[in-house]
């Protein structure tokens, strides 16, 4: 693999042991995936931030690192709201460990914005190279923004953040971004709400696996695209998808829409994902809510009181910029938490059945929270919570 002189110096240990280790990791990854060189990145997003997922060994590894990140870097959601963890019901012992993880990342120069929607907080541009780790954020960056990132593991994203570069392979190369399977829906007009797109993604991800799908016939907005990509990244390994006439690369004159096969998903299959089981908690904001979704939820909860625990998750910066909507939501008894989410917080482990409006949460809640999951639209979540 070709290295610039400064990259070689990092590999030779001239900029410290941690940078050397990180460069070894990047060169190892690049060698495995056939990268010819590294490419500079505009930003990094590092996963492995909740103590629930990284545990003691992950924490000790982080505490042993000694370097600063070279590009703007944020974290994936952690296990608790940094200010309101007691109110969430997070055990004190867990909170202490989580604080230690946060301190370790902060020492590396990482911004303590713990979110899977970093694109709401800082501009990410078409064509930029990134090293992002959270699968829904990767799908959004590649597909909706047209930026370029592989689906990094936590250590790979951290190494890229510290070196400021990542191996140039996979989705960084334009010719690898063409679709390889078509997806059509028998009744696309029936797909309306983010939960519908989440359920469609839940079904499609299992069919697509790690291929690049091209959807036709559907007309999603950006929040719908976020839900679709997150679900496909969970039940499949989708890091990039296109929607004909909607997503940026599908509108390029060079885009090759002739895919070798097209699969039709029937609405009946999508509807089967929905159920009407009894739940004891509701959680929305997977991926973290956009300002528009927060406004919609505030409107739906106006003048109502929730009778079951109702968790709302969003990025700290989005919460700060939308205080009136947050206050309207909380007047109902629902709680809006920053930094964390339904899947990575131990606070949700105490429930037996959780209602979500996300295909991704539907896929992960059973294994990560040990609860049965039910998907419904935002309206249905509010109806169940207030009935
Ligand atoms: Fe984000 Fe957590 Fe869902 S990281 S995509 S809210 S599982």
pLDDT at 238: 97
Q: Whose CA is nearest to atom 2 of ligand 1?
A: 341
Q: Of the candidates 178, 133, 138, which has an alpha carbon nearest to the alpha carbon of residue 155?
A: 133
Is residue 52 in contact with ligand 1, taking CB distance under 6 Å? no
CA of 230 to the centre of ligand 1 (A): 8
Task: State the closest ligand 1 atom to the C-alpha of 230, by its place in the atom list counted from 1.
Answer: 5
Ligand 1 in contact with 286 (CB < 6 A)? yes
Cis peptide bond prior to 104, omega within 30° of 0: no
Ligand 1 atom 6 nearest Cα: 286
The stretch 93-116 carries a mean pLDDT of 96
Look at the alpha carbons of 183, 187, 189, 192 in this order and tell me if their dihedral is positive or negative.
negative
117 Cα nearest atom in ligand 1: 1
Question: What does the H/E/C string look like for 39-77?
Answer: EECCEEEECCCCHHHHHHHHHHHHHCCCCCCCCCEEECC
Across the chain, mean pLDDT equals: 97
**CA distances to 48, 76, 131, 133, 306 from 153, in Å:** 9, 12, 9, 6, 38
> Is the distance from the beta carbon of residue 134 to the nearest atom of ligand 1 less than 6 Å?
yes
**The CATH homologous superfamily of the domain defined by 281-386:** Aconitase, domain 3 (3.30.499.10)
pLDDT interval class at 122 (50, 70, 90): confident
**Residue ranges with strand state E in the chain:** 38-40, 43-46, 73-75, 111-114, 130-132, 165-167, 181-185, 213-216, 242-243, 262-265, 281-284, 310-313, 335-337, 353-356, 372-375
Kindly state the percentage of the chain with pLDDT values over 70.
100
Rounded average pLDDT over 212-225: 97
- What confidence score (pLDDT) does residue 40 get? 98
140 Cβ below 6 A of ligand 1: no
User: Within 13 A of 64's CA, how many CA atoms are on the CB side?
Assistant: 9
Residues 265, 271, 275, 280, CA torsion sign: positive
Q: Rounded mean pLDDT of 147-154?
A: 96
Domain ranges of the chain: 5-174, 178-271, 281-386
> Ligand 1: which of 225, 341, 359 to mutate, judged by most atoms within 8 Å of the beta carbon?
341
pLDDT at 384 over 90: yes
Atom 7, ligand 1: which residue's CA is nearest? 343
**Residue range 306-364, pLDDT digits in tens:** 999 999 999 999 999 999 999 999 999 999 999 999 999 999 999 999 999 999 999 99
Distance 287 CA to ligand 1 centre (A): 5
pLDDT digits (tens, 9 = 90+) for 241-297: 999 999 999 999 999 999 999 999 999 999 999 999 999 999 999 999 999 999 999
- CA-CA-CA-CA torsion sign (88, 91, 95, 98): negative
C-alpha span between 232 and 95 (Å, rounded): 31
Q: What value does the mean pLDDT take over residues 170-175?
A: 97
- Among left, alpha and beta (phi > 0; psi -120 to 50; other), residue 34 is left
Q: How many Cα atoms sit within 13 Å of 13 on the Cβ side? A: 1
pLDDT digits (tens, 9 = 90+) for 8-59: 999 999 999 999 999 999 999 999 999 999 999 999 999 999 999 999 999 9
Q: What is the pLDDT of residue 83?
A: 97
18: exposed, middle or buried (Cβ count in 10 Å: 0-12, 13-18, 19+): middle
Same fold, 5-174 and 281-386: yes
What's the distance, CA 385 to chain centroid? 25
Q: Up-side HSE of residue 385: CA atoms within 13 Å toward CB? A: 31
Question: Cα 116 from chain centroid?
Answer: 4
Q: Are 213 and 143 in contact (CB under 8 A)?
A: no
Distance 61 CA to ligand 1 centre (A): 24
CA of 79 to the centre of ligand 1 (A): 11
- The three-class DSSP label of residue 129 is strand
Assigned CATH topology for domain 5-174: Aconitase; domain 3 (3.30.499)
The H-or-E segment that residue 326 falls in is: helix 323-331
The yes-or-no verdict on residue 207 having pLDDT over 90 is: yes
Question: Percent of the chain at pLDDT above 90?
Answer: 98
């Amino acid at each position: 693999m070709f290295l610039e002189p400064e990259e070689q110096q990092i590999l030779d240990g001239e900029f410290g042991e941690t940078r050397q280790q990180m460069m070894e990791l990047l060169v190892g990854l690049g060698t495995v995936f056939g990268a010819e060189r590294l490419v500079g990145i505009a930003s990094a997003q590092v996963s492995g931030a909740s103590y629930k997922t990284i545990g003691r060994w992950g924490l000790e590894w982080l505490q042993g690192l000694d370097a600063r990140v070279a590009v703007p870097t944020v974290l994936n959601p952690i296990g608790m709201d940094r200010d309101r963890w007691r109110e969430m019901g997070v055990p004190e012992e867990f909170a202490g460990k989580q604080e230690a993880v946060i301190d370790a990342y902060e020492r590396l120069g990482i911004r303590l914005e713990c979110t899977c929607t970093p694109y709401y907080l800082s501009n990410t541009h078409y064509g930029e190279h990134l090293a992002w780790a959270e699968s829904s954020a990767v799908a959004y960056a590649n597909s909706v923004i047209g930026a370029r990132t592989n689906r990094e593991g936590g250590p790979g994203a951290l190494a890229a953040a510290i070196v400021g570069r990542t191996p140039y392979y996979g989705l960084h190369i334009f010719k690898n971004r063409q679709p390889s399977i078509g997806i059509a829906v028998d009744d696309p007009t029936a797909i309306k709400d983010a939960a519908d797109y989440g359920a469609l993604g839940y079904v499609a991800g299992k069919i697509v696996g790690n291929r690049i799908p091209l959807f036709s016939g559907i007309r999603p907005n950006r929040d719908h695209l976020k839900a679709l990509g997150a679900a496909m990244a969970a039940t499949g390994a989708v890091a990039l998808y296109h929607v004909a006439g909607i997503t940026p690369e599908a509108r390029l004159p060079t885009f090759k829409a002739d895919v070798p096969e097209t699969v039709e998903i029937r609405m009946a299959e999508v509807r089967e994902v929905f159920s009407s089981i009894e739940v004891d908690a509701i959680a929305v904001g997977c991926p973290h809510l956009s300002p528009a979704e927060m406004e919609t939820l505030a409107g739906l909860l106006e003048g109502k009181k929730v009778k079951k625990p109702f968790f709302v998750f969003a990025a700290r910066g989005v919460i700060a910029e939308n205080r009136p909507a947050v206050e309207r939501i909380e007047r109902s008894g629902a709680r809006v938490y920053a930094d964390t989410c339904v899947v990575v917080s131990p606070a949700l482990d105490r429930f037996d059945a959780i209602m979500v409006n996300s295909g991704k949460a539907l896929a992960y809640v059973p294994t990560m929270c040990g609860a049965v999951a039910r998907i419904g639209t935002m309206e249905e979540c509010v109806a169940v919570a207030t009935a």
